[in-house]
Structures are given as structure tokens and as C-alpha cells.
Chain A
Amino acid sequence: MTEILQQLVDGLGRGSEYALIGLGIALIFGVMHLVNFAQGDLITVSGYVTYALLTAGWSWWAVIPLIVLSATLTSVVIEFVAFRRVRGASDTTMLLTSFGVHFVITALFVMFVSPNVRTFDRPGWITNTVTIGSVRLEVFDLATLGVTIVTLAATAFLVRRTMFGISLRAAAEDFAAARLMGVRSDRVIQGAFALAGLLAGIASVFILMRSGRTSPNFGETPMLKGILAALIGGLGSLGGAVIGGFALGLLEVFLIARLPDELAGLTNGVVFLLIALLFIFRPGGIVSVRHAERV
């Protein structure tokens, strides 16, 4: 029981990161049908910002807002430089564009920083634990989960209650119709990228604190997890992406705990296999948002 509770919190903590990145990916997919393979690079970029500032002697608390800011800015810049130019192109074209963006960003860090890993000090408190009853929980997991819940609640409010959010949802439903109703497409798309960047930035804070390192392709793993989260939830469904992220986090933690030792290295492989099976039997994801095509 105790063990399961610990794993639950651990899984939700991990899942928080995936949920935040996945939500950003779902937002962008909603407004422009782009599966963004460059979403993880926001984490890479903010990772180098963190490295630079911490090395220069800044404290973690001062760095945190800059992590979020740099991820948000990067997201908006990528939209402006690349994705704006393929708007309305086929899904394949857009997907490959983001694939290209990812590799260019990776290569830029290889060229101008170093192909090697850069490490920095993790904040001291992240290994602290608290004991509630017989359950020992990591403060870091609880903090991640708490901040994520607040962020998701704020996002839900933004999307449901504000004019921007309504435009966003309208655009996700039917982009052309939303434009005709006076929704300004540039604004909505930029807004979606900024929001997705912000969410990735918050996830990035936790990812960087946990890992204490960055490298040119550091964002690849979180990006894949985020895409999987969004896909599990049924691409385009915002709630689905969040559920997908948590589900993925829990799945991983339980697999790591249950797999025999010699197979532990295969956790990611098993996750991918399970997800491939999910898509084979439920191509629309858990929360299916497929629209019937009119013929």
C-alpha cells in the first residue's frame, strides 16, 4: 500500500512534466494541425540559459522566471521564423518542418556551444523528503504536482473564460470558420505558441532541477513524452493531453517498479510498444475527438 502510494505520487510528479508539454503540443495542434517535434527544444534552450546564469553565479530562484521566459520567447520565435510559412500546408509538410527545426536547433548548440553535456548544480532541497504516516514522499514530486495543478487550473480558466481562450477553442474546432467570425488568426496562433512555450517553460524548470544538465538534444526525450501524452489523449483534446501525460507518467513508474531487473532498461521500449498498440486499437487516443468527415 505504502509502496503504491509512493509510486502514485512519483508517477504523478513525472506525469506533470509530460502533461504540461503535451498540453502545449495539443494546443498548437488544435490551432494549426501541426505536431510540433520542436517543442522539446524549448527545454534545451532554457537549459542553456540556466547553465549560463547559474555558472555566472545567479541563484535558482532568480533563474526560474528566466527559464519560463526563454522557453516562451523561443516558442514565439520558432513560430515566426518557421511555422508561419507552412501554415495551411499538409500535415506531413508541417510535421517535417518541425522535425527540421528540431535538428537545426540541435545543430546550433553543437556548433556554438559544444556537443558535450553541460552540467550545473541542482538546488539542494530537491532530495528532501517528508514522511506522512508511513509514506515517505519527495518534496520535489509534491512541489511539481502542486505547481502543475495550479498551472493547469489557470490554463483551464484562460481557455474557458477569457476572450483569447474562446478564440483558441473556436479556432481549434474550425479554423476557417473562426477566421470568418472575426478571430484574428495571427493573434490566436501566436497566443497558442506563447502559451505552449509558457507551459513547456514551467515543465522545463522541473526537468532541469531534476537533471542538473543539458545537452544539444536534451529536449528530445521530453518532446517525445509530450507528443505521446498528447496522442494518448487524442491529439487536439486539451483535457486529453493532460490525462495522457499523467497516464504516461504513472505507466512509466509502475513499469520501472514491476519489470524484472534485466528488463528495466527496456522501460521506454515497453512504453513505446504499449503506445503503438494503443494506436493500433484506438487510433483516436483515449479521448477520441475525431470529427466525422463530410462527404
Chain B
Amino acid sequence: MSEPSELTAVRRYLAPVGGSTALFVALVAGCSIYAAGGGSSRDSLVTQLLINAVVVVGIQIYMGNTGVLSFGHVGFGGVAAYVFALFAISPERKATIIPDAPFGLTDAGTGPVVAVLIAIAICIVVAVIVGLGLVRSGAQSGAVAATVITLALLFVVHEVAVNWTELTGGDRAGLSFSVGETLGSLWPVYLVLFASIVAGRVFSESRVGRSARASREDDLAARAMGINPAVPQMAALVLSVVIVAAGSSLRVYELGTVTPKFFFLDYTLLTLTMLIVGGRKGVTGALLGVVVITAGNELTRYLAGPDVNIAGLDWLLRDGLSEIFLGGAMLGFMILRPSGLLDDWELDRWWFDRWRRRREHAPPPPVPAPTAAPASLRAEGVTVRFGGFTALRDASVAATNDTVLGLIGPNGAGKTTLLNVITGLVEPAEGAVTLDGAPVTGLPSHQLARRGLVRTFQNLRLFSSLTVRDNIAVAAEVGARYRADRARPSVEELLVLARLWDQRDRRARELDYGNSRRLELARAAAVGPVFLLLDEPTSGMSESESQAMIEQVRATAAAVGAGIVVIDHDLGFIVGICQQIVCLDQGAVIATGTAAEIQADPAVRAAYLGSRAPV
């Protein structure tokens, strides 16, 4: 078990739903108090704020969890808005505004509820297509190609809306409801907003949401832990688009009309600024951003309006002020506080972490796993070429899970390349990798990890803004799902084993170097590996630290019953831990044997130490 089940239920459902309810009540109460003080203009401001909150929470679910910057969500909103309007506007009204609509849409009148559902359904279809494209383009945190695809969506939707006048009413007129047909009560908004907040929080804490956040932090490391980022990205996109579609339909229903410019750059700027100012990694931040920006926008509009006349300031208090405010807010936050006001802070997570901390105690370190069934890992005749350079030449190594295999060799010998071939990051030109006799060559990293080949990285790749515990928990969830038959210690036991218990709720990026190394090792172990493949676990460590690492690696592998393949430059470490050593030089295996045999081998001495140097 990766975590006690009653805690899982609290963490995954009870706390997020409770936290969401608190956020919702606070927001609605605040709005009601504000609206009670004034007339209908305040009412409509509050309605718009709540609807914008739905849209922004929707965008947050995708951008916050995956880290992919999307300009396209307002485009999805545009699709939803038009579909909603086309079905919700009464046929009598449509007969005058779009008499020649294709597909017999002029006569379709379904009422608003069914219209929203149709809008959502169509948006899901579009989202799946766009999402496949995003995945194909290698979407990950900061990926420019993905952002451009989303931008293309926004423009395509806008162009179609402007040009397909029989359907959309064109650029000027658009589609508008008859008087009295529009949103009459706030209840639908409350309902949709509450559902959105809950969806956002529950998703973020779910297994899928946590994998999305792990991939956001480090795509490659997530793959190496058995996560296929495409799945959580797609899930996040579809969920976020559903919510944006619902919010956009409400927006049209409230405004009573839709034209192309309602869902274009201005609304993109508005919603993105709200999200970024509040903090795009969290739902709480998103909501705070909506409130802050709405208030600021209202204030600047009031100042720029006809009611305010301050002598000497009229050059400033005029049209354009609220746009300056929005652009300036985005600019200012990017420069001074790019993670937003709240970053990824969530009320319920904060509360739950405190609550759990008080009631849990450090478990004893995990007992060694029962002797695992024999397993073997072979790489045979592996050749890798990078352009004209041959990094590996017909290299063969074999490991079993009852010994520790060391790979040594000078820099550039091909050690990491060999490990990359075994873990699916590099595809060999020739040769095969087999695990227990089954060919695994060329499988993607995440599938290899799910089969039990789990690695660490030479240059530390932690999920840096997740907590120490979540780093391990993400991997443990993969283990629970795909490696259920293996002996796997609990997350808490691994924390104790890695001597990270006291740091468990800190963010991984706050750890010092030695702790980070041990966390990476524990995270790999949490998957339940058959083989742990360690790339220079002692690089940058002092001699005493690397001696301690020997024990750490042994104890960790024993706890999960895994075999070890390890690359290192530290001969003391290698000799201390390995029963078998393979020495590579210039891409070829030049010697295989025990530590003593390797040290006596003249070829190794020549490669490593210069031809005549003593060992």
C-alpha cells in the first residue's frame, strides 16, 4: 500500500471538496455583500465575476496542472458560445437573424440546458483532436510549439466566426437572444461554479492530476517513473475544456449576445491576467486573481469614466486605462512575482498537511523484501550512432538481480548512452535489450518503467515544486497500479529509509544535494523496480558521503528486492558495492569481471589511467 486508505479518501476527496466548498461560500458571500450595497450594475458585475471565475478555473485545470501555456481556451469558449447560442436562441428569433443557417439550425430550439450539453459535447470532440495534436507536438511545460497550436485554434475559431456569416451572424451583428430570453437567475451560475471548483481541486489531488503535475515539473523524469504524460495532459485538457465551455455558454446567456470579438484576444488577456496574477498553479489562486483583477478593472473603469474629474490628471483618467491596468498587471507580475499571489497554495492541502503531520508517526524502516524471483537484464550487441559519431559499438552487458553490476569507463565511454538505451531514451541502431528473455528494445520509457526498469539521472531530476512526499507518492502510485505483485514499501517507510522523514512536507527544490540524491533513489524504488539503474549516484559527493551512499543503495534495493546496475566514476564506491564490473572505452566493452579482475586488466588500466600508471 502506498498510503493508508482512510488517509487516501480524506486527501483525495474529503479535503478537496471541503476546501472547494469553503472557497465557493467565501466567494459567493463576498459577492452578495457587495451586490447588496448597490443597484443592478453591481448585480451584473457580480454575475460576470462569477462566470469569469468558471472560465478561469477551467483554464487553470489545464495550464496549472500541465504547465503548458494555452492561448486557445478562449477559442474553445468561442466554439461553445456559438454552439450554445445556435441551439438556445428561439427559432422565431433565428428566422430573423440567421434565416439561412446550414444544417437546419434555424429551426433548432432546444432550450438552454440541452444547448449547454451540446456545446460541451462538441467542445470535447474539438478538445480531443487538439489534444492529440498537442501530445504529438511534444507538449510539456514551456513548449512553444504547443502554445502556438493553441493560438492557432483561437485564430481559426475567430476567422470562422467572422466569415461564416450564415451560421454566426458575422462580425458585427453576431447572434443575439430576444429580450427576456436570457439568464434570469444566478442559480445556474452558482451550480456550475461550485462544480468547477470541486472538479479543479479533486482533479489536482487525483492520481491523474498528480501525474500531470509531476510531468509539469519534469517530463523526462515522469516518463522514467512510468508516467505517460499524454494521458494526464489529455485528461486535464478535456476536463478544463468542459468547464470553459459551460462558463462560456453562461457568459453568452448572460450577455444575451455573442460576436467574434467576445472570444478573442481581449478576453484571452483578461482571463490569463486573472489566472497569472492569482497564481496559475492553484484553484485558490485562480479565484483570488478573478476577484483582484475584476476589482482593479472596475476601479480603473470608474476612474476613467465620466464620474471622476481630477484636475491635472485627465491625461491619465481616460479610455485605455483599464487595458493598461491589465497589461501592466501581467507585466508587473511576470517581472516581480511570476508565480502569482498565491502560487500553488490551496486551502485544503494546507489544512490536510497540518492535520496529517499531527497524527502520523515515523514508521520503522522497511524490512528487506523476500528474495525475489531471479531476473535478468541483457543488452546485446548494442550500437548507437549520433550522426557520424558512434557512441556505442556492439556493446553487450548482462545483469542479474542477485548481484550489483557496475559500469565504468572514462568520460565519453558510452556508459550513460547504454543506460539510455536500456531505459528507452535512446533507440539503438543495432542490438537488442531483453528483460527476462523478453525483448524490450525501443519500448517507450514509461512502459519500461512499468515493467520494472527504473532509473535515476546523472543531473538530478526531481519534481522540484512538489513536496518530498509527493515525489515518492507519484512513483508509488505508478507502482500500485502496474507493479502490484512486487513488494513495495509504503511512501512513509521510504521516507524513513531515505532519512527524509523530517523534510517530508518540504518542496523537493529546498533539499540540499545529498538529500536530493537520496530522494531520487527512494522515488525510483517506490515504483517497485526489478532493476534499479543508477547514473552516477555519488557524483559531486565527498568520499565519506559516497561511502554512506553504498549502504543507502544496498538498503534501498534490498527493501524492494531489486537488482542494481550502477554507473559511477568513484572507484571506491564501485569496488565497494559491485560484484560484477563492466568497463567501457570509446563505446566498446573492453573488460568484464570482478573488481579484482578489472583492476588487474591491462586494457582497463590503459583506458582509465594511462598505459603505464600503477593502479
Residues of A whose CB lies within 8 Å of any CB of B are 35, 82, 85-86, 89-97, 99-104, 106-112, 115, 220, 224, 227-228, 231, 235, 263, 265-266, 268-269, 272-273, 275-277, 279-281, 283-284, 292-295
B-side contacts of A95, CB under 8 Å: 69, 144, 147
Whether B425 and A295, one on each chain, are in contact in the complex, defined by CB atoms closer than 8 angstroms, is yes
Whether A295 and B323, one on each chain, are in contact in the complex, defined by CB atoms closer than 8 angstroms, is no
Residue-by-residue, is B310-331 near A (CB-CB < 8 Å gives 1, otherwise 0)? Answer: 0000011011110110111111
Q: Which of B293-349 contact A (CB under 8 A)?
A: 315-316, 318-321, 323-324, 326-332, 334-335, 338
Q: Identify the closest chain A residue to B67 (Cβ).
A: A92
Residue-by-residue, is B246-284 near A (CB-CB < 8 Å gives 1, otherwise 0)? Answer: 000000000000000000010001001000100000000
Whether A106 and B152, one on each chain, are in contact in the complex, defined by CB atoms closer than 8 angstroms, is no
A-side contacts of B535, CB under 8 Å: 295
Main secondary structure of the interface of A (DSSP, over half): helix
11 intermolecular pairs with C-beta atoms under 8 Å apart? A82-B335, A86-B335, A92-B141, A109-B320, A115-B319, A231-B148, A265-B159, A269-B159, A276-B153, A280-B132, A280-B137
Q: Identify the closest chain A residue to B157 (Cβ).
A: A269
Q: How many residues of chain B get a CB closer than 8 Å to chain A's CBs? A: 56
Q: State which of A96, A97, A104 has its C-beta within 8 Å of the C-beta of B324.
A: A104
Interface assignment of B190: CB less than 8 Å from any CB of chain A: no
The CA-CA distance from A96 to B69 in the complex, in Å, is: 9
Whether B152 and A273, one on each chain, are in contact in the complex, defined by CB atoms closer than 8 angstroms, is yes
B-side contacts of A89, CB under 8 Å: 334, 338
A112 to chain B, nearest CB (A): 8
Q: Identify the closest chain A residue to B221 (Cβ).
A: A295
B-side contacts of A85, CB under 8 Å: 335
Q: Identify the closest chain A residue to B458 (Cβ).
A: A295
B-side contacts of A268, CB under 8 Å: 155, 159
The CA-CA distance from A231 to B420 in the complex, in Å, is: 30
Q: State which of B155, B162, B220, B321 has its C-beta within 8 Å of the C-beta of A293.
A: B220
Interface assignment of B145: CB less than 8 Å from any CB of chain A: yes
Whether A295 and B145, one on each chain, are in contact in the complex, defined by CB atoms closer than 8 angstroms, is no
Q: Identify the closest chain A residue to B335 (Cβ).
A: A85
Interface assignment of B439: CB less than 8 Å from any CB of chain A: no
Whether A111 contacts B319 in the complex (CB less than 8 A), given A96-B69, A103-B330, A295-B416, comes out as yes
Whether A106 and B323, one on each chain, are in contact in the complex, defined by CB atoms closer than 8 angstroms, is yes
B537 to chain A, nearest CB (A): 14
The CA-CA distance from A227 to B321 in the complex, in Å, is: 28
Whether B269 and A99, one on each chain, are in contact in the complex, defined by CB atoms closer than 8 angstroms, is yes
Interface assignment of B111: CB less than 8 Å from any CB of chain A: no
A-side contacts of B162, CB under 8 Å: 265
Residue-by-residue, is B122-145 near A (CB-CB < 8 Å gives 1, otherwise 0)? Answer: 000000000011001110011111
The CA-CA distance from A91 to B272 in the complex, in Å, is: 16
Q: State which of B145, B153, B326 has its C-beta within 8 Å of the C-beta of A283.
A: B145
Interface assignment of B7: CB less than 8 Å from any CB of chain A: no
B-side contacts of A101, CB under 8 Å: 327, 331
A-side contacts of B335, CB under 8 Å: 82, 85-86, 97
The CA-CA distance from A272 to B149 in the complex, in Å, is: 9
Whether B331 and A100, one on each chain, are in contact in the complex, defined by CB atoms closer than 8 angstroms, is yes
Q: State which of A106, A235, A263, A295 has its C-beta within 8 Å of the C-beta of B420.
A: A295
Whether B133 and A280, one on each chain, are in contact in the complex, defined by CB atoms closer than 8 angstroms, is yes
The CA-CA distance from A204 to B217 in the complex, in Å, is: 40
Whether B326 and A103, one on each chain, are in contact in the complex, defined by CB atoms closer than 8 angstroms, is yes
Q: Identify the closest chain B residue to A97 (Cβ).
A: B334
Whether B416 and A269, one on each chain, are in contact in the complex, defined by CB atoms closer than 8 angstroms, is no
Interface assignment of B600: CB less than 8 Å from any CB of chain A: no
The CA-CA distance from A280 to B328 in the complex, in Å, is: 33
A70 to chain B, nearest CB (A): 21
Whether A90 contacts B142 in the complex (CB less than 8 A), given A100-B327, A104-B331, A106-B327, comes out as yes
Please give 18 more A-B residue pairs, beta carbons under 8 A apart, in addition to A266-B159, A273-B156: A89-B338, A91-B142, A92-B142, A99-B269, A99-B272, A103-B323, A111-B318, A231-B144, A263-B163, A265-B163, A268-B155, A272-B155, A275-B148, A280-B133, A283-B138, A292-B386, A295-B220, A295-B420
Q: Which of B148-201 contact A (CB under 8 A)?
A: 148-149, 152-153, 155-156, 159-160, 162-163
Q: State which of A86, A102, A284, A292 has its C-beta within 8 Å of the C-beta of B327.
A: A102
Interface assignment of B96: CB less than 8 Å from any CB of chain A: no
Whether A275 and B318, one on each chain, are in contact in the complex, defined by CB atoms closer than 8 angstroms, is no
Residue-by-residue, is B58-74 near A (CB-CB < 8 Å gives 1, otherwise 0)? Answer: 00000000010100000
Interface assignment of B457: CB less than 8 Å from any CB of chain A: yes
